[in-house]
């Protein structure tokens, strides 16, 4: 059974909807925001089959890291010929002035993909600058579905999902850090808004100790680590309960910290 929808995709349905195949008569030229896994896990664990149909049709990729982007593309489909692709760096050492030029292929009608190091591009990761320029130029931007540790953490925390804020990293300096923690805890109470933040894995144990020291005993803390991976750990407890339960070793596991 085939059908054509508004986007110009021809779709071949299968009795099992998850096995549908999309054949693109003409894929809509766009800046495709392409999520990747959050760690060592199968692509089919976290990415829709649709993404694997779109990706092989893209020839230009704006990426945080070329090597890991190549590895990802090979995993998506080993028939992709990496040498035929063009990669444009958007990592720490890339010059933002170049970003506008990266979008030239799209202005000529060729799709571009954006790939960051983990999870969804432009969320707690580079990519937002490129998207902003695309929006300014009136180019079509299509975000693909994939794993976001922020979203998964809010879902699994049991905290308010009608109002939540992701706050990135806390300040490094101890006094600023404690002040910021207090401020986020205060906002969780006063606005009933769930507060999320992150830390580099090797500092996780230290951050945990700081939270136990700084927050009120009845405040609830959710630690969500290694999401969607075999080592996944998601636990919500009050601060006073956490004081009785040691944290597993998260020194190498990306974690999201949630106060509710």
Residues numbered 102 to 121 that lie near a copy of itself (CB under 8 A) are 120-121
5 counts as binding a copy of itself under rule CB under 8 A: yes
Query: Among residues 168, 185, 192, which one has the least CA distance to residue 256?
Result: 168
214 counts as binding a copy of itself under rule CB under 8 A: no
Shortest distance, CB of residue 174 to a copy of itself, whole angstroms? 21
Member of 10, 59, 105, 158 binding a copy of itself (CB under 8 A): 158
228 counts as binding a copy of itself under rule CB under 8 A: yes
d(CA 79, CA 127): 26
Shortest distance, CB of residue 156 to a copy of itself, whole angstroms? 4
Member of 50, 100, 180, 219 binding a copy of itself (CB under 8 A): 50
Stretch that binds a copy of itself, among 63-71, 104-112, 227-235, 247-255 (CB under 8 A): 227-235
Query: Among residues 145, 192, 189, 199, which one has the least CA distance to residue 167?
Result: 199
Stretch that binds a copy of itself, among 80-88, 149-157, 174-182, 203-211 (CB under 8 A): 149-157
Determine the size of the site formed for a copy of itself (CB under 8 A). 78
The interface with a copy of itself within residues 63-102 (CB under 8 A) comprises 75-78
What b/e sequence results for 170-187 when a residue is b if at least 16 CB atoms lie within 10 Å of its CB, and e otherwise?
beeeeeebbebbeebbeb
Q: Residues near 28 by Cβ (< 8 Å), separated by ≥ 6?
A: 7, 8, 9, 111, 140, 142
Cβ atoms 219, 211 nearer than 8 A: no
Q: The tokens 């779109």 sit on which residue?
A: 54
């Amino acid at each position: 059974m085939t059908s054509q929808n508004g986007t110009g995709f021809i779709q071949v349905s299968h009795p099992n909807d998850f096995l549908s195949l999309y054949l693109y008569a003409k894929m809509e030229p766009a800046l495709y925001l392409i999520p990747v896994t959050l760690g060592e896990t199968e692509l089919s664990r976290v990415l829709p089959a649709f993404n694997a149909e779109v990706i092989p049709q893209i020839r230009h990729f704006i990426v945080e890291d070329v090597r890991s982007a190549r590895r990802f593309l090979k995993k998506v489909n080993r028939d992709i010929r990496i040498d035929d692709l063009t990669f444009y760096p958007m990592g720490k050492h890339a010059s933002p002035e170049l970003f506008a030029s990266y979008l030239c292929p799209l202005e000529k009608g060729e799709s571009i993909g954006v790939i960051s190091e983990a999870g969804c591009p432009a969320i707690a990761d580079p990519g937002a600058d490129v998207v902003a320029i695309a929006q300014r130029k009136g180019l079509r931007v299509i975000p693909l579905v994939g794993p976001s540790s922020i979203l998964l953490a809010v879902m699994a925390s049991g905290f308010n999902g009608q109002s939540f804020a992701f706050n990135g990293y806390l300040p490094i300096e101890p006094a600023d850090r404690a002040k910021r923690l207090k401020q986020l805890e205060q906002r969780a109470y006063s606005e009933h808004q769930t507060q999320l933040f992150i830390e580099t894995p090797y500092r996780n144990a230290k951050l945990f100790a700081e939270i136990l020291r700084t927050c009120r005993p009845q405040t609830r803390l959710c630690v969500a680590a290694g999401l969607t991976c075999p080592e996944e750990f998601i636990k919500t407890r009050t601060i006073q309960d956490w004081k009785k339960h040691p944290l597993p070793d998260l020194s190498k596991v990306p974690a999201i910290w949630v106060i509710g």
